[in-house]
Each structure stands twice: as C-alpha cells, then as structure tokens.
Copies of this chain bind each other. A is one copy, B any other.
Amino acid sequence: FQNIKARKAEATQNAFRVVEVSDKTIDPAVWGKNYPRQYDSYRRTVDIERTKFGGSEAFQHLDDDPVWRHIFAGYAFGTDYREERGHAYMLKDQRETERVTNPKFKQPGACLHCHASTLNAYIDEGLKAGAPAGKENWEAQIQKGFEVVCKMSYSEATKLVEHPVSCIDCHEADTMNLRVNRPGFLNGIRALAKSDQPTPHLPSIERWRKEGRKGEYSPNTEANRQEMRSLVCAQCHVEYYFKGEGKLVTFPWHNGLKVEQIESYYDQVGHKDWKHKESGADVLKAQHPEFELWSQGIHARSGVSCADCHMPYQREGAIKVSNHHVRSPLLNVAQACQTCHRIPEEEIRARVVSIQDRNKALLDRAEEAVVSLISALADAMKRGSTDADLKPARDLQRKAQWRLDFISAENSMGFHAPQESARILAEAIDYARQGQLLVLALKPAAVTASAP
C-alpha cells in the first residue's frame, strides 16, 4: 500500500523550484534540479536504437546506398552523410563530420544555428556589436549576434558554444512556456506569413492575415500552444540555405512551404548549392524538410504537433510529463500513437511500414532516373556537347534532383505526408526521364547506352 499512498501524494505535488533558473542559465543540469523528470529523459537522447528506416544509429548513408556519391558528386555531402541521431550528439557530430573537418569546405559559424544552444552566444555577441541592451530589445540583440556569428569561421564560432540544444532554446525560464528564438526561423515564418499561401495547419498565421497583417507576425505572441509544440522544432528541422556573403541562415519560405514553391524562391534569387561535378548542372541540396513536409500532411491539418508524436506525455507516477527523449515514435508506439489510435501496436507498426515501404520503392525508382540523367549528361559532355546544348537537360536535372533529395533528406521516409511524398517523387521521375530524352535527342546513336 506504500505506493498507493505515494501515488496520492504525487497527485497533489507540483514541481517546486529548488534552484533559480533564468534566461542566462544554459547548463541543462541546473534546470534539471527543478525538473528532474524532464532532465532525465532529455539525457536519454544519447541512446542508440535503430528502426527499419530511421532510428539513432549514425550509419553512413553513402555506403548504405553508394548511388548518392554520384548524386552529390562535387559537394561536401558526397564525402560524409550519416543517419542523424539524438539531440545529445548534435554538436559533437557537427564538429566531427568531414563536411566540417575537411578544410576545403570552409564552413561558417552559420552552421551552429541548429547544432548548439546558441541563444546566449547570439545575445552576447549582439550586445558586443552594439545592439541596445534591455529585455525589450531581446530580438534586436539576437539578430545582431546572429549576423556576427554566421559569418565567423566555424572553428572560431564553435568556441562560443558548449551545449547541444538545451532547455533555454525551447523554454522561457520564468514560465517554462515554449518560446522560439532562432533568427533564421523568426525571419522565415514572417516571410511565410507575408505570402498568400494558405496555412490551415497554422491558424495563428491565417488569423494574423485576416486581422490586417499588422506589423510583423510574431509566433511567441500569436501562436497557440499546440502550434508552439511544432514551431519550436521548426527552428531547425527545416530546409535552409546560407544567404550571400554574410552566410545568413535563411529559410526559403517566401513563396510557401511546398517543394515547388521553395524551388521557385531559389530560382528567383538565382541560388545554387553547387555545380554538379559529373553533369555540370547547377543543383540544389535539400536538408531535413520535416516541418515543410509535415505541413502538407493530414496530421498537421488535424492539429497533431511534432511533440505529440516525438515527445508524448508519459506517466511518471501520478503526473504526466513530456518525454524529452526525442526520438523515433516507432520506439515508443504506445505513448506516441495509441493515445490517438486505439489499435494494437503491431497494427500501428504495420501501417507505418506499409507507408514507408511504398515510399522507399518510389525513392529507389527516382534515384535510378536521376542517376541515368546524370550519366547521360556526362556522356554528352564527353562527346563535346556545348553548354547551350545541355542547358535544358541540366535544368531538368536540377528540378528532378531537388525533388528526389527533398524526400530523401526528409527523415520520415514519407510518413509525415505519404501522398505528397509520392507526388514529389513522381515529378522527380518525370523530369529526370524528360531530361534523358532531351540528351538522347541531341546526339542519339552514340548514347543509347544510357537508356534504361
């Protein structure tokens, strides 16, 4: 009966603070004294466990599927691209990847935006650079420091931080309310709000528009709690590029969140990530567009947030706390899914796998098409076709590869929006094959080799 008593006690107990924490407290261990349950689960992000397509074992994707060495030929990702793992590793993995350690890549401080607890580093650098002091200038300080840190060299900038994402990056210290602070995100979500793209999954943006688009859309004051449970993740789990010489981390949401809307933004600003080594095409790299893909799915539309699945409530004795062991929900189906889907665990797993297997089959198909186009272009170059000849086919490679990579770099293997992922891959296939047709139409006889 001890524990029935204990449980009655717990029921009436709420976390009271043993130490003071403030916006300046970076070390999660200190916060942990006040919130031991959240802290304990937070620390478990070091755990390593694999799932069929995801999980937290940092295997080398380039060995897993060597085709990608071709697709990334001439780019940093062609040297080292691993499966991502838990939050605890984000800083270490960035510091150690060959994409950083290999001097020829000269990475900027911008990289840290999403790999460390940078909030206070931004504020300190901002103040140093002359941003006005005082809480009311909080964002001005962040934005200023952000500009300073982005253009630093990575080796210099990384000295300014010591922790992976920490409590302070998602929470406001006094109230523990969720709070977003990443400048790349704040600027990106405002650009999205300014556009006319419907956002049924982000009602606060549609409200802000209806109420006359006054000033700037500000998530921390306008978004409701359920939206914030996704927006804190959208500070990092998104597509981005480094804008101009300042290397400013920029989220390309100005025309909307869909794959072709992001592409149209890149085309407008004339952005390319690199010139493809084998085909000579100006191509784009997609990075972890979880937020963007989720936005197109039925869960987002139904108001289901990232945290609902990746940080589900977990009973700790009498009270329920958010599980800060952020990971694949497939490692935790009961809490992550069954609260909403009252069906057996095996059935839930089977549904996910059938969605992911379909997506994987299309992904392989699209890979094959894109690689065939790359070889076709390479052959044509060898045979001396001119840039003018090849321009139309290279443009198609850019379109096709962007779509293929968008779904490949997205980390749910299509789950976050199954139909949309399939649509995107279908377009990737179509553009790649059309590109092959253009090449073949150039100097036909010689290239039949590269036909499938």
Q: Is the interface of A mostly helix, strand, loop or mixed?
A: helix
Q: For window 397-452 of chain A, which residues contact chain B by CB distance below 8 Å?
A: 414, 418-423, 425-427, 429-430, 433-434, 436-438, 440-441, 444-445, 447-448, 451-452
User: CA of A104 to CA of B378 in the docked complex: distance in angstroms?
Assistant: 53
What sequence of 0s and 1s flags, for each residue 377-388 of chain A, a beta carbon within 8 Å of any chain B beta carbon? 000000000000
User: CA of A414 to CA of B422 in the docked complex: distance in angstroms?
Assistant: 12
**Contact across chains for A420 and B358 when beta carbons are under 8 A apart:** yes
Asked if A361 is an interface residue, CB under 8 A from chain B, the answer is yes
**Contact across chains for B426 and A451 when beta carbons are under 8 A apart:** no
Give the contacting residue for A365; candidates B350, B351, B426, B437; CB below 8 A. Answer: B426
Asked if A301 is an interface residue, CB under 8 A from chain B, the answer is yes
User: CA of A386 to CA of B134 in the docked complex: distance in angstroms?
Assistant: 82
Asked if A133 is an interface residue, CB under 8 A from chain B, the answer is no
| Minimum Cβ distance to chain B for residue A139 (Å) | 34
Asked if A205 is an interface residue, CB under 8 A from chain B, the answer is no
Give the contacting residue for A444; candidates B200, B301, B423, B444; CB below 8 A. Answer: B444
| Minimum Cβ distance to chain B for residue A233 (Å) | 23
The quantity of this chain's copies bound in the complex is 2
User: CA of A427 to CA of B369 in the docked complex: distance in angstroms?
Assistant: 12
In which size bucket is the chain A interface?
Answer: 35 or more
Note all chain B residues with C-beta closer than 8 A to A448. 441
**Contact across chains for B433 and A429 when beta carbons are under 8 A apart:** yes
**Contact across chains for B351 and A301 when beta carbons are under 8 A apart:** yes
Interface core residue of A302, A437, A444 (most chain B CB under 10 Å) = A437
Give the contacting residue for A423; candidates B298, B358, B438; CB below 8 A. Answer: B358
Asked if A157 is an interface residue, CB under 8 A from chain B, the answer is no
Q: Please name 29 pairs of A and B residues whose Cβ atoms are closer than 8 Å in the assembled complex, sorted by A.
A: A200-B347, A200-B350, A301-B347, A355-B419, A358-B420, A358-B423, A359-B419, A361-B423, A362-B423, A362-B426, A365-B430, A369-B430, A419-B422, A422-B423, A425-B426, A426-B426, A426-B429, A429-B430, A430-B433, A433-B434, A433-B437, A437-B437, A437-B452, A440-B441, A440-B444, A441-B444, A441-B447, A441-B448, A441-B451
